[in-house]
Structure 1
Amino acid sequence: MGHWEIFLFFLIIAFVYSSVGFGGGSSYLAVLAMYSLPYQEIRLTALICNVIVVVGGVYIYIKNKQIDWKKILPITFASVPMAYLGAILKISQETFFLILGITLVIAAVLLWVKTDVKKEENLAEASKPSILRNSFLGGGIGFLSGLVGIGGGIFLSPLLNLLKWDTPRKIAATSSVFILVNSISGIFGQMSKLSVDIDYFRILSLCLAVFAGGQIGSRMSLKWNLLVIKRMTAVLVLVAGINILIKYW
């Protein structure tokens, strides 16, 4: 496999993020964007890795009854078809990288800004569910998710926190479900028009790296500083986004 060091990067990212309950999807996308890989391969790899890293978390959230399906369903029902549409939309490689660059820069800002809401016991003013707003929010982020190859949680989570949508725990659970269903929808969209240039062995190797790192990290109770991890990721994502914009603008 060419660029074997990507395997190590993915292993480390999955290990660190899974140890604090996150997936690190934006970091995978940022790393892939730094290499001259076919853009369809970048999108497909990022989406598959998203599924691998969040499926375990979704299971735990469901098991612990931390998912409010009445509030999640309007977001996911709108996002799933839009993610598919974004994935099948025909765009040039230059257009893809321009959108990706802008997306990563915005994501870096959202990662850097601390958007934590009040603690669960003090969240009496959590916003009332709005089907129209939730559907519009989910559909928009879902389309971008399929188009670029992200799960969408990096946008959904801080926006829901700013809206005081629910408790931090419920928002984290919602974001995990959102990432999972959008990534699966995006994968189906990508599978409908795969390129012959895709290196399937590299994709499989990176998936194994993410799985291994995630399994190790999730079984270790390491006390990472979550804010530091988020801001380190913000720097990585910002550098990748600016580098892409300079190259393709």
Structure 2
Amino acid sequence: MAFLALAFVVTAILYASVGFAGGSTYNALLALAGVDHRVFPIVALACNLIVATGGTIRFARARLVPWRRLAPLLALSVPAAWIGGMLPVSKHLFLALLGGSLLVAGILLLVQPEREMEPRRAALVGPAVAAPIGLLSGIVGIGGGIFLAPVLHLVGWDRARRVAATASIFILANSIAGLGGQLTKLAGHPELIEAAFGYWPLALAVLVGGQIGSRAGVQLLPPTWLRRLTALLILYVSVRILLQVWGG
């Protein structure tokens, strides 16, 4: 548990610095530790809530959140995340969906520069992808910001820091919905919910890491490095997960 907690601290620092919460890597770490895949989403989403809450507060204080443009994204994604959380999936499908989606997102973000789009068209892209991202995120037990941010970057939706702020709040809202769906799905398996609560030290770990990372993201890192670091994190996590799929 000590090594896992340290890994969660590092993950929270890195992900919070780019406006994410780390759910995808939390899942990968839990998989490597041999945890039951039905428990992954509960632990990862609980940790997401902690990190994303801290990030949301800091981004909001820095006045980086485009609240009016964010509202339609949440209205479409949150119900879908709840539904996704209630859908039962096998371990193999769970890891394949997570790893494959992250690989595509990471490659797009890394190889394609941000580009300008006509403001009205760019504004339509977010709502168009919000529900599918919410559904997929609920299934795999993450907040969805790691899917949303690359899309927003690629269409020139807003500046890098405002995209990071948007992703942070998107993660918070969808993590709450996804967690609700996951708990509903496991209502008949109290032993799994109890097992998830046994990982409470990881919540303390990400609380510390998330505070450090979100401060760095708002105050220290330049926008270009935010985007590059985001892409590298996504690719690293996706490869680790896909290796498990291929090896299993």
Same fold (TM > 0.5): yes
Letter in 2 for 1:145: S
Q: 1:211 aligns with which of 207, 210, 223?
A: 207
For residue 167 of structure 1, what is the amino acid of its counterpart? R
CA RMSD of aligned residues (A): 2.9
Report the residue type matching 1:197 in the other structure.
L
1:153 and 2:145 matched: yes
Letter in 2 for 1:57: G
Counterpart of 1:197 in 2: which secondary structure? Answer: helix
Partner SS state of residue 40, structure 1: coil
2:37 to 24, 36, 39: 39
Moved more, 39-48 or 15-24: 15-24
Q: Distance in 1 between matches of 2:140 and 2:114?
A: 26
Report deviation, 1:105: 2.6
Identify which of 152, 161, 167 aligns with 2:159. Answer: 167
Q: Which residue of 2 aligns with 1:75?
A: 73
Return the letter of the residue paired with 1:59. Answer: I
- Give the Å deviation of 1:185: 0.4
Q: How far apart are residue 27 of structure 1 and its match?
A: 2.6
1:66 corresponds to:
64
Q: Counterparts of 1:240 and 1:227 in 2: how far apart (Å)?
A: 20
Matches within 5 A, 1:3-14: 4-14=2-12
Distance in 2 of aligned mates of 1:243 and 1:17: 21
Aligned residues: 240
185, 189, 202: which one pairs with 2:181?
189
Give distance in 2, aligned partners of 1:137 and 1:163: 12
The aligned counterpart of 1:239 is 239
Amino acid at match of 2:233: T
Q: CA deviation at 1:238?
A: 3.1
- The structure 1 residue matched to 2:132, chosen from 114, 127, 140, is 140
Alpha-carbon distance in 2 for matches of 1:37, 1:136: 35
Q: Answer whether contact 2:16 2:52 (CA < 8 A) is retained.
A: no
- Counterpart in the other structure of 2:21: 23
**Which amino acid is the alignment partner of residue 127 of structure 2?**
S
8 Å Cα contact 2:82-2:180 kept in structure 1 = yes
TM-score (norm: length of structure 2): 0.82
Task: Note the alpha carbon deviations across 1:152-210, whole angstroms, 9 max, x for none.
Answer: 11111110111111222322221111111001100111111324235234431111111
Change (3 A) 1:12 1:78: same
Secondary structure, aligned partner of 1:87: helix
| TM superposition shift of 1:15 | 3.1
The Cα of 1:44 is off from its aligned counterpart by 1.3
How far 1:110 sits from its partner (Å)? Answer: 4.1
Q: CA contact under 8 A between 1:142 and 1:152: conserved in structure 2?
A: yes
Change (3 A) 1:168 1:223: closer
Does 1:51 find its partner at 2:49?
A: yes
Q: Is the 8 A contact 1:157 1:171 kept in 2?
A: yes
- Over 3 Å counting, the alpha-carbon distance change for 1:181 and 1:7 in structure 2 is same
Q: Give the match for residue 120 of structure 1.
A: none
| Structure (1/2) with the larger helix percentage | 2
Could you tell which deviates more after superposition, 141-150 or 28-37?
28-37
CA distance in 1, matches of 2:135, 2:87: 10
Say if 1:87 and 1:189, in contact at 8 Å, map to a contact too.
Answer: yes
Q: 1:174 to 1:129 in 2, by over 3 A?
A: farther
1:100–1:241: 8 Å Cα contact kept in structure 2?
Answer: yes
Structure 2 unaligned regions, length at least 5: none
5+ residue gaps, structure 1: 118-122
